[in-house]
Each structure stands twice: as C-alpha cells, then as structure tokens.
Structure 1
C-alpha cells in the first residue's frame, strides 16, 4: 500500500504560478504530471495525519538524524517531535546539527555517526555519485532557492545574464547548480557565458547594490529577506517551470540502515513526510515552535517562507526515482556529474524503497 493517501491540493503556490506563466510553462507542467503517478502526493490538511498504512515500529527505536537546524525549509523536521510525529512511530530521534556543512553531514551518515539526514538533492547528488554509502528514501518538499536582480536596471530575464556576473555563497552550492541548469535551458552557458563570484551571504545584497554582480543566488531566509527589502526582484526560483513539480530536499539513510532495518527507515521517512504535510496546513504553529532553533528571525518571517515553499509535495517510489534521474540528467548537462553517469541507473542505485 502507499504511504500516504491521494487527496490533492487544487491550488498551486504563487511562485509556481509565476514559474509556469506562459504556454511553455503550462506545457511543461502538463508534461511533468506524467510523473505524478505512484507515490507523488500533494496533501490536503485532512491527509497530513492520515496515512493509509501504519509504519509504527513494534518497539522504541533510537535514531540519530543529521540536520541543519538553522534551515527554515527544515523547520517541519526540527519541530516534528513537538507535534508528536516521531513518537507516533515509536521513534526516539536525536538531532545531530551540522549547520551548513553538507559534506560533513553526508560523511556522518555514510560512516554511521548519524543514521539518517535531510538536505538538498542538488547538493547531495555529486557526493553520492562519488560513492557515499547513503540511500535516498523520499523527497520532502520543493522551494528554497531564489535568483535575484536589481529592481531598477537589473536583468530582465535569464537570457540577459549572458556576459554578466552572478554572486553566490559557495561554488558547489545547490543554488549555483540549479541556476546553472536554468541558464543552460535558456541558452546561456553557465561555464563560459557567465562569471560566478563568491561572497558571504550577508554581503550578496551589497555586491548587487554596488554593481559588482548583476544577480545573486542563494537560499532562504537570506534571499527572502533581500526580496522583501524592495530593492531586488526575482528572476527565477527552483519552483520555476517543471521544477515546481519536483522535490528539492530529500531524506537519506545509511546504507546499513537501509539493508538491515528497513522498517526503521520507513518509520523515520514517514514521520518526516507527515511533519512536512502538517507544516503545510499549520505554518504559523511550526514557525512559532521553530524559534527555539532559529536565530535572527521571527515567527512571521518563518511562516511566510514556509507558505512560499511546497511542503505538501512529497515523492517516493518510482516517481521519486524519476525526479532524481531528472536532476541527474540536468546536472550532467552543466558538468556537475560525470559524462559517463547514466541518470536513470544512478537514480536507481542511490534509492531504496522503504515503503514496499
């Protein structure tokens, strides 16, 4: 049986509608709905706590979960126990906070210092291609990444960034990877036609103001704050075009847990997905609870960001494999993954179906 019911939300988020504007976007959406078969779910509030099948463990199981507790998009996971989702599945989850160090987080999972982790697919896939013993179990939500330009005199579209400079916080960041994909799709070579320049996150806006760069990319909450300041506008997001139907963040478990205790991996994955669904229906409650982990923010800001993401979208099973293969294909196109990597085989090799 499927891990969730198939009640679906009828409304797309504002960012999805912006990304799908125009005939090409609408056609892309229709094309992507061919992936929305088995194990792709857009939950209504009623389904957030009503799975079709129980994944409750018969005995209490302690697990360590690697996470960046400062990431707003992971707020639903950070406060999952407050809402009883881990306890509901007989899990005792200890957070191992690795901040923004994805490489250390993945190494911790691969070496057994943590049993599982949550993070961004576009940051994990290169490491998984290199052989980390981590298996993906599901996609948790979409959103998080934005590409901004100046409101006055900035680039009018992605094509206008040819020959320009883009500010980023990390040369291997998921936003650099994603917007490289978007530039390539719009006829701009992300390697030869643009220059990428690295800045601390809190200096991206200053660099754009000074004209040192013509666009900046990054994740929320930094990008959200720049956008709401009024001096910058969105050129693109990772909910644009067909990517509005893909997961950006994923759940990964150790290869050992996947092979030896699939029931625990299923219970943890289910609890995390239910927490995201609950957050989609109750963003204000999650935002208030998240303040015990967050710094320099407010419940209003966290709630607004959560509403801007797609926390009701989850993928597992064959549909999730297709999502990962789709990303892998695009990452090959921008020289992130090896030319010899077969996207479909790669996706199949790093996924484990814990719900079957």
Structure 2
C-alpha cells in the first residue's frame, strides 16, 4: 500500500558514528580526482532509485559538489554476486536486499548500510487450492525461495519464530529449497513446493499467471510494513578513505527514492526507455506505485537492528557475535546526510526530512 510521510518526527538525530572508520591522513590524500564506483543491475524493477540516480544525474550532481565523480559497475546475471564484487574491491557503494548480506557481513564482508530506501517487495504465495491459510500453517512445509541466504528466507524465519514454528538448527520445522527466480512460480504450480517467497515483479507476475493466493506481503504485513527490504550500502574502504563521497552517494540515492515515490510512472518509463527494465509500462508503473519508496536513515537502522537481534536469537547469526558491535558497525550515520528527502513533482524540488522516524502511517 502507498504510505504518506509520517508527521510525527522526534528530536534531531544523534551525532555521526564513524569512530570505527577513521578518515585517512590528509597527507596521504591523492591529488587525483576521487571516483566512487556504484553498483547497479538491469532487469530489476526495485532497482528504480539507482536507475533514476544514474540517468537523472543525481549521483553526478552530489559528487560534483565535492569535486568527485561517479562510475557505474554493472552486476550481470550469472556473473559475480554482489558479495563477490564487494569482496574483490570492484564496487564502493550500492543498493539491495540488506538481509541477504547479513551473514556475509558477520563473516567479514566489509560494508555498512547508511539509509533505508525501499519497503516491501517480497511476497509469499500458495496455490489457490492449498489448505495453507497463513504463516501459522507452514509447519512441516516445503518453501521455494530465490536463495538460501536470500532476504525472503530471513524475513520468513523471523515471522515463523513469532508464531512458534521452529527455524533453529536444533528445531527446524520447515524446509527451504532454492530455485532460480524464473522457476519459482513453476515449482509451486507443479507441486514441487508448498509455498514460494519471491520479489517483485516476479512475485506479482506469478500471481497473475497462475492465480496463486498470497499469504504474506512484506509491504502490508504488520511486522514488516515499517521495515526496509532494500538499503544503501558503502564499503569500509570508502568510509575510511572518502567519507564525503559515501555521504554524497547516500544523499543522491535518498533523493532518487523520493522521486520514485512521487513519480512512479515517469520512473517506469525511464527504466524502459533506457533498457534497464523490460515490461509493460502500465504494469511496471502500477507495481512501483504500490511500493513504498520513502527513504529514511533512522527507520532503516531500526530495521537492521530488529532483524540482526532476532536472527541471532534464531541461531542464523552466530552466538559468538557481539550483536551491539555488529549493529554499530553495520549501520552508520554519515555527516551531512539527512534522515531522508521528499520530492514535490509540481515544483520539481527536494526537501530534507530530518529527525528520527518511527514508522509510516497506514
């Protein structure tokens, strides 16, 4: 469901937390123009904020203000994963499903998140004739997902814990099975699995093609409707050597997200015209319009905090992990970055949103 920006804003946000990532010595700084390498994907409707920031020049604009420039590094389907690209030092910043990277971060993936960008693109379906009515009925069921570390798994495990279904190593009462995104709907329709978890547009396309019945939608569910699925990240190397660049790309993506929220049809058209996403304009625009692209750093951190704590309780994050340190280093506040932005399509202007956000009104 479309949400409006909350009017209940608390006091100003806390001071910048960058002690774990000190800037490099000024004497070591290069005289060459600094470049921030930004990851992007094609074919991903929910990648709309990155596409907008690239094609409308928002990354360029924010970086040019501080004498820097952007370069774009594409993640190709079937090629290196985002985690592999980060670990090999090929990208400095990007955007994606934060929960998919939590275990990798625990194991040393050198990134921190800086802002929530997008809420609710993951949905869970059963066949129309299934006796499963809700998450409470999933004990003993087989669940198809895009990957075993995917955010669709992490979110569902948290929901299953809430209803008393075991997801821990010593009490696992469901089975997750990985399929390619394109095969998830077929697997459910053929009875290979009882449930699927999928991200839009794959999720909605499967629903329409096969008449699946939705049992959980992270965009409307009470637990997840105030949590971000997709967030902005920057690498620790960028934080150490170029915190100003990290702040600039975060501001740019926040602005782009606010633009998508206000202009879903124009965004869908931009994606199609630039061969970034295929599909029908009306269908793509309607999906973007249903989703929540209101950016928020504070609510993004609340999301990260809640997920990390519950996943440690489930044994998905290690018992040995210092959860307070993990959260403090995994989600940071950058100097010069507001809580978020709104966009006025009549005046074509952005407005900073500051304070601490606690949720979106119904």
TM-score range, shorter chain: 0.7 to 0.9
**Partner of residue 267 from structure 1, selected from 248, 259, 268:** 248
How many angstroms does 1:35 deviate by? 9.9
CA offsets, 1:201-241, max 9 Å, x none?
22222222222222111111111111233611211122321
How many angstroms does 1:190 deviate by? 3.2
- In structure 2, the residue matched to 1:9 is none
The question of whether the paired residues in 1 share the 8 Å contact of 2:44 and 2:277 is answered with: no
Q: Is residue 340 from structure 1 mapped to residue 320 from structure 2 by the alignment?
A: yes
Alpha carbons of structure 1 residues 345 and 302: separation in structure 2 relative to 1, 3 Å:
same
The question of whether the paired residues in 1 share the 8 Å contact of 2:143 and 2:177 is answered with: yes
Q: Is residue 330 from structure 1 mapped to residue 310 from structure 2 by the alignment?
A: yes
How many angstroms does 1:280 deviate by? 0.3
- TM-score w.r.t. length of structure 1: 0.78
Alpha carbons of structure 1 residues 330 and 99: separation in structure 2 relative to 1, 3 Å:
farther
Q: Hey, what's the Cα distance between the residues in 1 that align with 2:264 and 2:209?
A: 22
1:32-111 alignment, distance < 5 Å: 62-89=35-62, 90=64, 92-99=69-76, 104-111=81-88
Q: Which runs of 4+ in 1 moved over 6 A?
A: 33-37
Gap regions ≥5 residues in structure 1: 1-12, 18-29, 41-58
- TM-score w.r.t. length of structure 2: 0.77
The question of whether the paired residues in 1 share the 8 Å contact of 2:120 and 2:224 is answered with: no
Pick the structure with more helix per residue: 1
CA offsets, 1:250-289, max 9 Å, x none?
2111212112221111111000010000010001011011
- In structure 1, the residue matched to 2:360 is none
- In structure 1, the residue matched to 2:286 is 304
The question of whether the paired residues in 1 share the 8 Å contact of 2:51 and 2:276 is answered with: no
Alpha carbons of structure 1 residues 195 and 256: separation in structure 2 relative to 1, 3 Å:
closer
How many angstroms does 1:296 deviate by? 4.3
Q: Is residue 140 from structure 1 mapped to residue 124 from structure 2 by the alignment?
A: no
How many angstroms does 1:155 deviate by? 1.1
How many angstroms does 1:341 deviate by? 2.2
1:89-238 alignment, distance < 5 Å: 89=62, 90=64, 92-99=69-76, 104-190=81-167, 192-229=172-209, 231-238=211-218
Q: Hey, what's the Cα distance between the residues in 2 that align with 1:217 and 1:303?
A: 22
Task: Report how many aligned residue pairs link the two structures.
Answer: 309
Gap regions ≥5 residues in structure 2: 15-31, 337-362
Between 1:243-252 and 1:95-104, the stretch displaced more is 95-104
Q: Is residue 245 from structure 1 mapped to residue 245 from structure 2 by the alignment?
A: no
